[in-house]
């Protein structure tokens, strides 16, 4: 370890008088300490970068999972949802009768109430292979629940108004054997025609959403003309959601009335905490964090232990314990930041490359900064673990 090209081990005690310790050379010493051994520096950066990559990808996958479990609710544009009593998730819909819509319209504060039908079906490809899909039925003139992110071509209204028209996301076109618009397909032994594509409507179950008109959804699902699964409600201007929800519950005590935020959280919680899929994702994320802590701790602890003779030299030259603390912590922070930059760059690159996949990790700016903060804190914590060794150094050993 050296400062401005002078080895601390070789330096004479008189070259750094006590007054020198008052000047802040700790950052420079920490930097020289870090880069002096290039092999050790590479090992440190690889360990921290690997930890960052592990956390970034796993937490990004968990974030994607939570978003896709409630994407239908998040993008529907409804203030309230009327659902069958006890519904656990938006995709696990239970049938209602359309009279619930008219009952909702009779409640003060309700501006718009629209029917919504969601059901599972089988999509038959040209080669005879069947794929499970989630059919979403919505009125072509509806203001809520329609598909979003439509690709250029037909409008949503025109695509849904086609008697047998369906809209799918382009990312699932190959999975469903679709090559172009107006291609004929088969759903539950009924003919359908692909009339449009969306971009970015994903599903965590890997059963693609298929949007169609309410009438066609009933036909494809072999449902009656009165069957729906939800009533989407938009409040009249200035009406409080809580009071309208209570009025709806009083009018229809045998159904659930849920705010959009509440319903989205309920869907996320169901898949995250009551199913194997969510438990696996959460466990993997926690494991990634723990592995990252262990990797960083071992890497920085070993790096600090390799520098014990140099720290003993500083103690022999009059350096205080606080001075050693500053050096070790700053070295950890520098190493953490460098490793984080390398790791998060790789994470963002992999996220970009996977952007067109069905389940890409999501790494927004706040998650990237949060991972950076966690990485630096882990580095500081790991450096503090080794401080007992550093501060207990016997300066006399330098002269032996």
Helix (H) or strand (E) holding 34: helix 26-36
Domain-by-domain residue ranges, the chain? 2-67+277-399, 86-253
Which value, to the nearest 10 degrees, does the dihedral of the CA atoms of residues 259, 264, 267, 270 take? Answer: -90
Angle separating helix axes 365-385 and 321-353, nearest 10 degrees: 150
Spatial CB neighbours of 210, under 8 Å, sequence gap ≥ 6: 121, 123, 133, 134, 135, 136, 166, 167, 168, 187
* DSSP per-residue string spanning 194-247: EEEEESS---TTS--EEEEEHHHHHHHTT--TTEESEEEEEEPTT--HHHHHHH
Distance, in Å, from the CA atom of 116 to the CA atom of 138, rounded to the nearest integer, reads 5
Secondary structure letter of residue 151 according to DSSP: P
- Rounded Cα gap, residues 180 and 47, in angstroms: 47
CB 300 within 8 Å of CB 383: yes
188 φ/ψ sector (left φ>0, alpha ψ -120 to 50, else beta): left
Q: What is the dihedral of CA 106, 108, 111, 116, to 10 degrees?
A: -50
Between β-strands 184-187 and 209-213, what pairing exists: parallel, antiparallel or unpaired?
unpaired
Q: What is the pLDDT of residue 13?
A: 38
Distance CA 226, CA 165 (A): 20
Segments in the chain below pLDDT 70: 1-24, 292, 296, 299-300, 303-304, 386-400
Task: Dump pLDDT digits (tens) for 127-183.
Answer: 889 999 999 999 999 999 999 989 988 899 999 999 899 999 999 999 999 999 999
Name the pTM for this structure: 0.79
For helices 365-385 and 276-305, angle between their N-to-C axes, nearest 10 degrees:
40
């Amino acid at each position: 370890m050296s400062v401005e090209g002078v080895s601390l081990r070789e330096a004479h005690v008189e070259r750094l008088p006590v007054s020198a310790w008052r000047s802040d050379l700790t950052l420079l010493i920490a930097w020289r300490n870090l880069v002096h051994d290039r092999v050790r520096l590479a090992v440190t950066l690889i360990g921290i970068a690997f930890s960052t990559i592990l956390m970034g990808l796993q937490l990004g996958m968990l974030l994607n999972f939570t978003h896709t479990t409630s994407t239908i609710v998040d993008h529907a544009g409804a203030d309230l949802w009327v659902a069958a009593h006890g519904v656990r998730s938006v995709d696990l819909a239970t049938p209602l009768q359309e009279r619930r819509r008219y009952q909702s319209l009779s409640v003060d504060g309700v501006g718009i109430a629209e029917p919504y039908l969601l059901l599972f079906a089988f999509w038959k490809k040209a080669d005879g292979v069947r794929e499970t899909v989630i059919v979403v039925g919505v009125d072509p003139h509806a203001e809520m629940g329609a598909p979003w992110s439509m690709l250029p071509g037909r409008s949503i209204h025109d695509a849904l108004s086609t008697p047998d028209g369906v809209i799918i996301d382009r990312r699932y076109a190959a999975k469903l054997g679709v090559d172009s618009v107006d291609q004929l397909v088969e759903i539950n032994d009924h003919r359908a025609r692909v009339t449009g594509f969306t971009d970015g409507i994903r599903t965590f179950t890997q059963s693609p959403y298929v949007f169609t008109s309410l009438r066609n959804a009933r036909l494809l699902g072999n449902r009656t003309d009165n069957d729906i699964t939800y009533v989407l409600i938009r409040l009249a201007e200035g009406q409080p959601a809580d009071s309208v929800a209570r009025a709806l519950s009083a009018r229809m005590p045998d159904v659930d009335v849920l705010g959009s935020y509440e319903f989205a959280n309920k869907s996320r919680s169901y898949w995250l905490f009551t199913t194997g899929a969510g438990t696996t994702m959460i466990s993997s994320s926690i494991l990634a964090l723990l592995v990252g802590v262990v990797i960083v701790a071992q890497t920085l602890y070993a790096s600090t232990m390799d520098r014990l003779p140099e720290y003993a030299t500083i103690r022999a030259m009059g350096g205080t314990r606080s001075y050693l603390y500053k050096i070790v912590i700053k070295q950890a922070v520098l190493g953490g930041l460098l490793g984080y930059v390398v790791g998060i760059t790789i994470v963002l690159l992999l996220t970009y490359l996977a952007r067109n996949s069905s389940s890409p990790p999501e790494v927004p700016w706040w998650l990237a900064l949060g991972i950076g903060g966690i990485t630096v804190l882990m580095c500081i914590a790991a450096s503090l673990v080794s401080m007992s060794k550093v501060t207990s150094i016997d300066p006399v050993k330098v002269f032996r």
